[in-house]
Structure 1
Amino acid sequence: MCRNIRTLHNFEPVATRDEVHDAALQYVRKLSGSTKPSRANEEAFDRAVDEVAAATERLLESLVTSAPPKDREVEAAKAKARAAKRYATV
């Protein structure tokens, strides 16, 4: 379930609100043990996603690094190569 949470810091261009929201959603899903909350829990679930997303945005804005920004396409290609090697059939 948490495979979709990706590193969002130190990329050019910076993480979008959608990427931050998607990571927050996956985090709340993992903690709650539910991919879709019941109607009774929907408001609390949505509020938690919004709060985690806001905290994530504040964190990303305050982090500093001396490393050069990473390129999304290069990092995606590296991840794809790792996955191909990991899941290769013999």
Structure 2
Amino acid sequence: MSKEQIFEILQKALVELFEIESSKISLSSKIYEDLEIDSIDAIDLVDYIKKQTGYKMQASDFKEVKTLGDIVKIVSAQLEKNNI
């Protein structure tokens, strides 16, 4: 799965689950500040990512996450590592 595909999954989740305008969503969007995602929303987002990619982000992954690009990098690296 490419980074672009992972980003598209994130974008779809943010629009569908949290009703965020797609124009506000980019790789550089800050999850908590720009998109106003809280910790409960983050759990829903992690669950959505797992359903779509097969990789479940760990809580420790989210400690380092600031932007959507960070999520894409983590998921992409883990999918490659685990051959998912």
Task: Please indicate, yes or no, whether the TM-score normalized by the shorter chain is above 0.5.
Answer: no
Report TM bin, short chain: 0.3 to 0.5
TM-score, normalised via structure 2 length: 0.37
More strand by share: 1
**Structure having the higher Rg:** 1
